[in-house]
Structure 1
């Protein structure tokens, strides 16, 4: 992939339907703790506005997204951001799009004044954990057997990265 082929930009309200289609297609018990979203479900609401999402477009086609937000509404926690969603279209996996989205989320968080960014990832999601590690995230803790997914107990892994030197 050439850098000029990939565009990462903020989501806009008119992206909702295409984003919802990608989100549904990317759904998997490997990465999700809730059942798949129903057909026709949207992505945006008062708790999930478009400005929380960065989109990856390849040749004008939506191929990925990342959602980055403050983890709590507390003033004492406003120096932290959290990734609360990442998806890449299966047809373009392995081309660096996930890494580009994570780095873009980190840069956006830094621009918002954040000193660190955190995320939660399921223990059995080895591909995502490797991606986050390659992007500089380190495991800070885990909740053992936090979820019962598809008949198996799965750990909830907490990872984070400093955004300042």
Structure 2
């Protein structure tokens, strides 16, 4: 099985990333409604190419991870937060998510971070298992934080030192 190639996103990735994001939308991980045309740009003022690592398999873009700050406070600037992770359905099981998680931790360290955090929906068992296998631990739970498809879902806060 080929190994995912991880690289920084470029402005040319805008359209493929937007298509991927729409294709993998699921109530398992999305708190926003399914995107409808006209679609918002993938890159915006808050998150640009510099904030994304992308994964390729066989030259095709098959995943991304977004790295940001949990807050704008200077006192919190030593922490980075994963604020998006997506893997194309056809690339699931190929180690893409794990490769992106490992690469983003290296990137966060390079940018001076001491900790990395993320938020995951309580019912997203596959993602939670992946994060735990990579050293993330549950640090808090906001019970019934979201109502999705008529069900109340916990918001699980996870993190780890770098």
How many aligned positions are there?
161
In the TM superposition, residue 41 of structure 1 has moved relative to its aligned partner by 2.9
SS of match in other structure, 1:139: strand
Counterpart position of 1:83 = 82
Among 7, 11, 17, which residue is 1:9 paired with? 7
Does structure 1 conserve the Cα–Cα contact (< 8 Å) formed by 2:2 and 2:57? no
Counterpart position of 2:154 = 155
Give the Cα separation in 2 of the matches to 1:117 and 1:84: 11
For 1:120-159, what aligned pairs fall within 5 Å after superposition?
120-159=119-158
Unaligned stretches of 5+ residues in structure 2: none
In the TM superposition, residue 73 of structure 1 has moved relative to its aligned partner by 1.3
Output the TM-score relative to the length of structure 1. Answer: 0.95
SS of match in other structure, 2:44: coil
Counterpart position of 2:43 = 44
Output the TM-score relative to the length of structure 2. Answer: 0.97
Give per-residue Cα distances to partners, 1:88-126, cap 9 Å, x unaligned: 001110111100001111110011010010000000000
SS of match in other structure, 2:43: coil
Runs of 4 or more consecutive aligned structure 1 residues displaced over 4 Å after TM superposition: none
Give the Cα separation in 2 of the matches to 1:27 and 1:48: 19
For 1:19-58, what aligned pairs fall within 5 Å after superposition?
19-39=17-37, 40-58=39-57
Q: Alignment RMSD, CA only?
A: 0.9
Give the Cα separation in 2 of the matches to 1:92 and 1:73: 34
